[in-house]
Amino acid sequence: MDRVILVNAARVEKSYFDSKVMADEFVHELLVLGLEQARDKVLPEILVRSRFRPFIEDELDALCSDSPVRLIPHPPASTPVEALAPLPAENAVLAIGPEGGWVPFEVELIQARGFTPFSLGPRILRVEVAVPLLLGQLALLIHASADVVAFRREPRSLSTAWGRTHGPRRIHPGRESEPRRYFAARLSMSQ
């Protein structure tokens, strides 16, 4: 993750952007703790925007111009997350809503900027649960895309690539022609 943009939305507490939680020093301290836990070294860029509509209409496209995949997790969406596999690129943008989700106006505005809505299931998740879950799902979808490409070139590549990361794994008979279904099953198990 190289950039996090915090945007005020209809369901965000009005005082949130004035609180100490948004102070640069506090945010930096939390980022450093997160990097230590993840054993990572690169701080993401943090942008804070207190006005939703001007950000979406004036800045979003420029900030996401190099991202062909734009996704918005939204519980009422009819597309399940596993239907997004395989993703065509490693560079993706997730528009994760506040507690209680985006209001319909916000969803429409975000979708008008090329974001595809999808659902993680019927349950509403808290933001602190949704963010790592979504990042993990996105990583699985990207990994699935890479493995599907390798699978189409050489059938043993999928097994080898999977084995390096997750131990020995056999490709089940009948799955050779259906790599998408295999990964969709893997993704849906984590819900």
Q: Is the pTM of this model over 0.95?
A: no
Pick the CATH number of 3-188 from 3.10.180.10, 3.40.50.300, 3.40.50.970, 3.40.1280.10: 3.40.1280.10
Of the candidates 123, 4, 138, which has an alpha carbon nearest to the alpha carbon of residue 71? 138
So what's the pLDDT on residue 18?
Answer: 83
Chain centroid to CA 134: how far? 4
Average pLDDT by stretches of 10, the chain with 191 residues: 89 85 87 88 89 94 89 90 78 88 94 93 87 88 63 36 36 41 35 37
So what's the pLDDT on residue 54?
Answer: 95
So what's the pLDDT on residue 56?
Answer: 95
3-state secondary structure the chain: CCEEEEECCCCCCCCHHHCHHHCHHHHHHHHHHHHHHHCCCCCCEEEEECCHHHHHHHHHHHHCCCCCEEEEECCCCCCEHHHHCCCCCCCEEECCCCCCCCCHHHHHHHHCCCCEEEECCCCCCCHHHHHHHHHHHHHHHHHHHHHHHHHHHCHHHHHHHHHHHHCCCCCCCCCCCCHHHHHHHHHHCCC
